[in-house]
Structure 1
């Protein structure tokens, strides 16, 4: 076996085992044929030093996503995981869209642009951005709103491109400020950016073989979320000083816990086939919330209220675990009852050059 074939077979490990057992040899043969130019010297060099092209790797990754996070015609387990990842991505995107939309409204109010609302207190007055980086930070976050709408409307690539606008400027801003000493070294900004990157990658689950997103409920969820979550949260945070200790990871834990409680309350009347994707999606969000909350605890060490913040964080972690563990057990049991693979695996559809 040549080094080129070894490298190609290594990339094929991204595919499910059952799929590789049926199609791996055919895919390898097709790939090696596509690399044969008829020149013996070039063939010998490629066999030792050649590598699969980026387009070939991308096609295998795309195939792996379609197989592992499939649509309605995929194996039951792949279908369930595909639905779960899409639901989790939609809920995370919805959360971002709700918060940035509320942020726009709050900014207009604090700027005095909404005349029919009471004049904000002087301590709430906005301060002008100190640099172009701060301006980029403020504007970049608003990109989550059009990204969410594009994803719901079925424009996955547009959503991914717009989401990059919400990720890259804050990452550059954080790096510049921490390198220059303008901001203390902290884990939280980077943890948030990492979550955003995972969310960007999760959008790959909205591939052409996936069922379309039900537009009406997810579009209606945006104004409902603003009215029921964002606006009350802002009012409570500003009128109850003690609640200002809740940072974004803490709010994320609270939101995920509330969502899991609501789900466990209403799941009794639903069919298991309909509830499994939701339970898996909420489990994924719970794991994300726990990871984010745990990592960001490192930033509490040097803060004046570090002990109080750590106690609040421990309560948040306990709440997520108390609800998330039973939900995860139910999801895993339901998932194991599903057959893992179909009777016949579909033919490979990767491109070769």
Structure 2
């Protein structure tokens, strides 16, 4: 067995055992055939030093997510699948709400909304200096159609549109940091990794059908814009202290508040079938904490690093204070869900 085959078989271990037992050899044979260049020396070199491409790895990860969380597996897998879909929708909704609200704020900064008070001079909008800056700003708005496509059941369309929101900002940040226009920081890359994880999590959605009721999720978008995004941006514009709340901080705050509301609803008995929601909030809390921890080193070179670090620790404590009890309760409830798999379904065609 070549080193290349060993690496590919190791990657295939992400797939469920039953699926791997039936399809692994065929998938390995197809992969090795695709790596055959026709040149014996090149093929021999790839056999020793080659690795599965990023696109191949992403395909296997997406297939693993789709197989492990689909509805015809064990009851416990179905609960986790529902939780992953809820967490994905909530995080994607957050993206859509924030970028849509930012359109109005951008128009305000540019002086296009004459009926509003003029923004502070330091907030005056300036035209992006390069085509990449313009692309970065426009690409971010792709989260809105991605969210709508996913809610309406067009998972592949949502994934394709989400790529538009991920790739241009990543290229922009890489170019800006490479030429020294902006300092080398962790924050933009940590956020891009979260976005990539969000993209992969979309594989848990069944193709061609919405996994949850469409009406509440469609109504959540304008509700979030008017009740969260616009007031938040307005407060940050007029209150300098609130500008210290960055994206990881906003995520921590939003998750902590949402978990508190969820726990309150559970305690008052007004919510039923809450286990998937509890697990979804637990996943979001873990994501927020990882993102917050990964971006802390960027505060070291800031003039207000003491204040920023203090605010960050308060955010972490708030998420832990609400998230730990919720996670413990959810995991205890999960133990009562049968883990025995259902009848083994006929595998789908391997990708």
TM-score, normalization by structure 1:
0.85
C-alpha distance in structure 1 between counterparts of 2:208 and 2:15, whole Å: 16
Q: 1:60 to 1:190 in 2, by over 3 A?
A: closer
Alignment of 1:122-133 (within 5 A): 122-133=121-132
Which residue matches 1:288? 287
Which runs of 5 or more structure 1 residues have no equivalent in the other structure? none
Aligned residues: 338
Distance 1:33-1:122 versus aligned 2 partners, 3 A rule:
closer
The farther-off stretch of 2-11 and 328-337 is 2-11
Contact 1:88 1:285 in 2 (8 A): yes
For the residue of structure 1 that corresponds to 2:332, the secondary structure is helix
**CA-CA distance at 1:232 after TM superposition:** 1.5
- Counterpart residue number, 2:247: 248
1:277-318 CA-to-partner distances (Å, cap 9, x unmatched) read 111111111011101111111011111111111111111111
User: Do the aligned partners of 1:59 and 1:351 also contact (CA within 8 Å) in 2?
Assistant: no
Return the index of the structure with the highest Cα Rg: 1
8 A Cα contact 1:60 1:350, kept in partner: no
Q: What is aligned with 2:180?
A: 181
Alpha carbons of structure 1 residues 4 and 93: separation in structure 2 relative to 1, 3 Å: closer
Q: In the alignment, which residue of structure 2 is the partner of 1:216?
A: 215
Equivalent-residue separation in structure 2 for 1:2 and 1:130 (angstroms): 50
Name the Cα RMSD after superposition: 3.2
Aligned partners of 1:219, 1:11: CA distance in 2, in Å? 37
User: Which residue does 1:107 correspond to in 2?
Assistant: 106
Cα 1:138/1:342, change in 2 over 3 Å = same
Question: Paired residue for 2:67?
Answer: 67
Q: Distance in 2 between matches of 1:283 and 1:155?
A: 26
Indicate the residue corresponding to 2:328 in structure 1. 329
Q: Which aligned pairs between 1:294-309 and structure 2 lie closer than 5 A?
A: 294-309=293-308
Give the distance between the partners of 1:235 and 1:117, measured in 2 at CA.
Answer: 11
Structure 2 alignment gaps of length 5 or more = none
Q: CA deviation at 1:176?
A: 0.8
CA shift, 1:10, in A, is 4.4
Distance 1:13 1:104, change over 3 A: same
Give me the whole-angstrom Cα distance separating, in 2, the residues matched to 1:314 and 1:187.
18
Q: Is contact 1:76–1:339 with CA below 8 Å preserved after alignment?
A: yes
